[in-house]
């Protein structure tokens, strides 16, 4: 189980991006919800996602990179902690450093 991401550069150092739980289907079925903890500068930096069909996908946008934290709450009450370093790149594949 890990966090995966995608992004779309919108211009002017701004990206639309999304993260989800990358895991086998049977393991996804055992998840109750995921709480994502974003950088403190986000409006509402703590976001709960309980949409199993989307693999618990969170969609948002921003201008910089940071470490995303996720608390995965399993249906049996167990909690798993995941992290992912957000990777945002310009159209020429140059990574942003901000």
Q: Where are the domains of the chain?
A: 2-85
pLDDT of residue 97: 78
27: helix, coil or strand? Answer: helix
Question: What is the rounded CA–CA span in Å between residue 7 and residue 13?
Answer: 13
Range 61-67 average pLDDT:
94
pLDDT of residue 7: 97
pLDDT band at 11 (very low <50, low <70, confident <90, very high): very high
DSSP string, 58-81: EEEEES---EEEEEEEETTS-EEE
pLDDT of residue 81: 98
- 2-85: which CATH number, 3.10.20.30, 2.70.70.10, 2.60.40.1970, 3.20.20.70? 2.60.40.1970
């Amino acid at each position: 189980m890990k966090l995966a991401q995608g992004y779309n550069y919108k211009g002017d150092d701004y990206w639309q991006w999304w993260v989800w739980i990358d895991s086998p289907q049977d393991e996804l079925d055992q998840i109750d919800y995921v709480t994502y903890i974003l950088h403190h500068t986000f409006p509402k930096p703590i976001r709960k996602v309980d949409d199993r069909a989307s693999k618990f996908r969170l969609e948002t946008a921003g201008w910089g990179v940071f470490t995303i934290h996720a608390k995965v709450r399993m249906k049996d009450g167990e909690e798993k902690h995941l992290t992912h370093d957000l990777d945002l790149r310009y159209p020429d594949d140059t990574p942003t450093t901000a």
